Structure 1
Amino acid sequence: MANPILPVQSGANLPGLETEENIQKAMAQDAEMDYYEDALGLEPGDVEEEIVELEDGSVIVNYQEKQSPRKNPEFYENLAESFDEGTLQALATEYLDLIDADKESRSQRDKQYEEGLRRTGLGKDAPGGATFDGASKVVHPVMAEACVDFAASTAKELLPPDGLVKSNIKGEADRIKEETADRKVNFLNWQLTEQVPEYRDEMEQLLTQLPLGGSQFLKWRWDEEQKRPICEWVAIDNILLPYASTNFYTAQRVTEVQDITEDTFLQRVEAGIYLDIDSEYSSDAPLNDQTRSEKANNKIEGKDMPSKNIDGLRRVYEITCFMRLDEDDQTQGQRAPYILMIDETTSKVLGLYRNWEANDEKFEKLDWYVEFKFIPWRGA
């Protein structure tokens, strides 16, 4: 299995961090840094290193290298709140058409994943075998066993009990750098083993499905309600890429298909992640179409789609893409990365966020998904 590329970013959380308490803390930290800059005769931006050693041997540790959403909430706001309705509707129409094209171009990948799930024999509908009258089918669970064995052996490397993170100091190491590195390692390992309890479970699910799907994805995001980062496994049949994509991380657009309940939808509206659009839940609303892989997995799980949409399931597309928006005063129409959220039921934009660090003149895209490849191959 190819080593996954882990996205590294600081302070890049989209909505939900703009609480009064967090803003006050950020302002206090800014004031403290301004005090030390004035005392040392430094101009803003002079402090680029994490650790600045003074002539008397003392040091100043700079924790404010980049602006986070707490420090600059206006930059990370939902742009859909300020854009006019015509612009948003044009974006929704354009990207819904692109999503339909991406579904068609990647439909074979869904079929391949479905066949892998069926050949495990766990759903009692494995393809192939005798078809004449009176014939019996015998399915050997060799593929299921292979998936479990692969996940178990991989988990030993990726999910060690004491944590995965290790330090790598670039340049000449000294005591201060080593102590700083140790603190970072301890903190990140604490996050993965204790603060984010679902990390191991999501990774185990991902690893068992990786040989069947060829690629799987782990998504990270900040949860304002729990005040911590959370992660979730995203199956390959719920990720759509354009036909011309040659690499997941450089694709023109990456679409995650999310089927969420009405309760989850309302939670995101209340948290300010989505716009409060005019849309009422109805149990008679049609359920969303399932992928072939999802149908095959439902047989393995032993569940059937209900006749009524009692949980208010609705489909939302979260699109990580590059756009040229003249309406964005930060880019002046230049190509830049954004996150666009569209409600399929109403064909309306729910959210539009800048997807780069504040003050980043290169508009470098922030990655929220980690791609795990079973066999590195041509294309994405």
Structure 2
Amino acid sequence: MLQGISEPFPAIGTSTPQAPRPQSGTAEFSREDIRPEPPPNPADILNARLSSTNIATELEQTVIDEIAQRVVRDYESDELSRENWLARNEAAMKLATLVIETKNFPWPNAANIKYPLLATACVQFSSRAYPNIIQGTNIVKAKVTGQDPAGLKAARGMRISEHMNYQITEEMEDWSEEMDDLLVALPIEGCEFKKTYFDSTDGLNVSEHVRPKDLVVNYRAKSLKKASRVTHRIWLYPNDVVGRVRKKIFLDIDFGYPTTIQEPSTDNESPALNDEDAPHLFLEQHRWLDLDGDGYQEPYVCTVHKDTGKLVRIVARWDVEGIARNEKGEITKITPVHYFTRFKFMPSPDGGFYCMGFGTLQSPINEVINSTINQLLDAGTRQNTAGGFIGKGVNLAKGGGGGPIKFAPGEYKQIDYSGDDIRKNVFDLKIPEPSRVLFLLLGSMIGAGKELASVSEVLTGEQSGSNVPATTTLALIEQGLKVFSAIYVRVHRGLKCEFKKLKRLNRLFLDDEVYFTVLDNPRAIKRTDYEDVDLDVQPVSNPDEVSDIQRLIKAQILFGLLGKGYNDDAIRRRHLEALRVPDIEELLPPKGPPPPPDPKIVLESEKISLERDKFELEIVMARGKLLKMRADTLAAIARAEAAEAGPQIEMYKSELAALEKMTSGMFAGGGATGGQMSENGGQNEREWQ
């Protein structure tokens, strides 16, 4: 075996065949009768496992126990690798949720205020991200790749877009709420996950939000696809466990009472104790195991009950088309099915699997702000309450025993001492006012925190000045949204991966033909529409347009291009979409023949054509005059030769040569018409000669 590769488990159904032994009183078997059974086909074994609900029912108990121990051991190892990140994440969550805690320094119940710097950054991010992603009922769109001259791909892409949008908004009722929860927690924890699978009970696709504390991956893993194992901590109530056992999804074991208590999400929540209906913790580990003994590990999903450490389920994690073999039929690669999608806020600089968020970036600044505010409050309390010393010779309380005296507003109390005696026996402590340096430090830290989170006044809707030009405000918004734009690109990347998983589930589990309704119009889609690879799915929203102002300005620029040779219908549609106008189809004109051209443009074009024809006519008339002059000259030469011979003929010839030179120059520079006239002129000259 290769180093680093665990020993294979005994293969299912591949035990060595034993020769049958003759029983007493029976005839002996001949050697020809003892024939070993042929080994099972590896392809048949993998296909059988692919359709099995629980492969653990076919394994020996020793193999089951060994797999369970390995799952728990690897889970604890991965938990240990990320313990520092977990500690930072828990501290950041306390800051974001403004958990109330008791502080006993410098005195009991001292000020312990938490400034909402991190909470403000999270609210600002989620309030911008959610409307950008959830734009009505249009969430996903199909993208056609390759040539599509007949428009068949575009029609199929439209059917896929309409059906998937219907699934997400109507059938998957919790999708929008789960996405909202994800976008609120993402800036705090740095990364969130979604688990996409097909729920056979309800017959629907599911894409649920998974918190990073419940998805355990080794901190040094590069990605979900390259991680050797991914463990999902699942909490199931007793009824859910019994239902899975009766459906033969889980092995029937003694689960007992849960001893692992589900930890509260924050300190504002107290853990439930002595709850008979408390959920059980299961470790669903997506990992690799060699169960057929061929030396190549296959991807499986192993589920272990955490309290008992017992394995309850093993299921295959590949598709039939994901198996590659060589010419000998040996497996060279198995492409696993990935159920989880990671949404990243900001990659970790140390290369860790779990990313960074505002919780990690702003926690140190937020802690300084909290300490500064609490010190200022404690100093103000100390100064307001004051204190001092009272001499032994003065007893102001009733009975002469001393003690505190309480005053009602506007009340004066009578005492047996003169004012001078009281002034000599009472000494007030000189307590300074709260430090101005601390106040300046507080303002500096708050400014640094807002700059880090890009939470400025102009982004929160407040006017930064009374005479600020609109272009300056727009430039400030564009610059302030650079951080958000980069984060939105990562969110869109995660959404695209999630939609691809939903597209795969439709290809595998969708009925042959499904009918659904879009805008009160019945639609139909077939499972074969999802089988082609020349269509991709991606989010509708644009990560480059973070704010409504950006979208409106672009739409306004497009609107100014109407009637200038572009697609006017598309410009009008995009302008109305940017304005978020409902029922756009009712406003747009029905599709028909193209509208007639603008009469002004037609009139100008006809004027230009008329001027061109007039100019060409003048050229033709001028060239006709020149041809007539040449003809007259040739006639004069002919008459001169006939009348007399002498020097007049040479003079006529020289004048004719000069005329021909001037005429040929004019013909050569006349363009197409001139060239044609030159040819005609040459022909006329030959005829004359």
**Same fold, TM-score > 0.5, yes or no:** yes
Is the CA contact (8 Å cut-off) linking 2:65 and 2:311 kept in structure 1?
yes
**Is residue 106 of structure 2 the alignment partner of residue 106 of structure 1?**
no
Q: Which residue of the other structure, out of 305, 317, 320, is the alignment partner of 1:358?
A: 320
**Contact 2:262 2:271 (8 Å CA) reproduced:** no
Which of 317, 324, 328 aligns to 2:290? It is: 324
Deviation at 1:111, TM superposition (A): 1.0
Q: Is the deviation greater in 305-314 or in 167-176? A: 305-314
Q: Which residue of 2 aligns with 1:218?
A: 194
Match of 1:75 in 2: 50
Question: What's 1:313 paired with?
Answer: 279
Deviation at 1:248, TM superposition (A): 2.3
The structure with the larger Rg is 2
Structure 1 residue matching 2:70: 3-state secondary structure = helix
3-state DSSP of counterpart to 1:171: coil
**What is the 5 A alignment of 1:1-380?**
75-77=50-52, 78-125=54-101, 131-133=105-107, 135-173=110-148, 174-280=150-256, 282=257, 285-288=258-261, 290=263, 295=264, 297-300=265-268, 303-326=269-292, 332-361=294-323, 362-377=333-348, 378-380=351-353
Instruction: Name the SS for the 1:252 alignment partner.
Output: coil
Equivalent in the alignment of 1:10: none
Q: Distance in 2 between matches of 1:298 and 1:81?
A: 40
Which one-letter code corresponds to 2:189 in the other structure? G
Classify the secondary structure of the residue corresponding to 2:267.
Answer: helix
Amino acid at match of 1:118: K
Task: Give the whole-Å Cα distance in 2 for the aligned partners of 1:181 and 1:304.
Answer: 50
Q: Describe the superposition over 1:49-101 as per-residue Cα deviations: whole angstroms up to 9, x where unpaired.
A: xxxxxxxxxxxxxxxxxxxxxxx786231211111111111111112111111
Is the CA contact 2:49–2:316 (under 8 Å) kept in the aligned structure 1? no
SS of match in other structure, 2:281? strand
Aligned-pair CA distance for 1:152:
1.9
The amino acid that maps onto 1:231 is S
Please, what is the CA RMSD of the aligned residues?
2.1
Q: In the TM superposition, what is the alpha-carbon distance from 1:336 to its structure 2 partner?
A: 2.3
Report the alpha carbon displacement of residue 159 of structure 1 after superposing the two structures with TM.
Answer: 2.1
CA contact (8 A) 1:256 1:317 kept: yes
SS in 1 for 2:286: strand
Alpha-carbon deviation of 1:312? 3.6
**Which deviates more, 159-168 or 205-214?**
159-168
Matches of 2:245 and 2:123, distance apart in 1: 39
Unaligned runs of 5+ in 1: 1-71
Q: Distance in 1 between matches of 2:241 and 2:85?
A: 29
CA contact (8 A) 1:121 1:140 kept: no
Alpha-carbon separation, structure 2, partners of 1:157 and 1:267? 40
What is the distance in 2 between the residues matched to 1:367 and 1:263? 28
Deviations 1:348-379 (A, max 9, x none): 11111111102422421111111011102323
Query: Are 1:79 and 1:352, in contact at CA under 8 Å, matched by a contact in 2?
Result: yes
Q: Distance in 1 between matches of 2:89 and 2:72?
A: 24
Query: Could you tell me how far apart the structure 2 residues matched to 1:379 and 1:244 are?
Result: 5
How many positions carry a matched residue from both structures? Answer: 293
Question: Does 1 or 2 have the higher relative contact order (CA < 8 Å, sep 6+)?
Answer: 1
In structure 2, relative to structure 1, the CA distance for the partners of 1:163 and 1:265 (3 Å cut) is: farther
Corresponding residue of 1:19? none
- Aligned residues: percent identity? 22
Deviations 1:94-120 (A, max 9, x none): 121111111111111211111111112
Describe the shift of the 1:187–1:310 C-alpha distance in structure 2 as closer, same or farther (beyond 3 A).
same
**Amino acid in the other structure paired with 1:232:** E
Quick one: which amino acid aligns to residue 336 of structure 2? K
TM-aligned CA distance change 1:162 to 1:182, over 3 Å: same
- Maintained 8 Å contact 2:234/2:281: yes
Q: Structure 1 residues 299 and 360 mapped into 2: Cα distance closer, same or farther (>3 Å)?
A: same
List per-residue Cα deviations over 1:117-150 (Å, max 9, x = no partner). 1112432139xx9931153122222222221221
| 8 Å Cα contact 2:260/2:281 also seen in 1 | no
Q: Which runs of 4+ in 1 moved over 6 A?
A: none
Q: Which amino acid in the other structure matches residue 97 of structure 1?
A: R
Distance between the aligned counterparts of 1:131 and 1:202, measured in 2? 41
- SS for the counterpart of 2:223 is coil
Give 1:156 shift.
Answer: 2.2
Deviation of the 1:288 alpha carbon: 2.8
Q: Shift of residue 242 of structure 1?
A: 2.1
Conserved 8 A contact 1:214-1:375: yes
Q: Which residue in 2 is equivalent to 1:56?
A: none
1:11 maps to which residue? none
Does the residue aligned with 1:154 lie in a helix, a strand or coil? helix
Say whether the 8 Å CA contact 2:259–2:307 is kept in structure 1.
no
2:226 corresponds to which letter in structure 1?
Answer: T
Change (3 A) 1:142 1:243: closer
Measured in 2, the distance between the counterparts of 1:199 and 1:169 equals 25
Q: TM-score, normalised by structure 1?
A: 0.72
2:153 partner letter: K
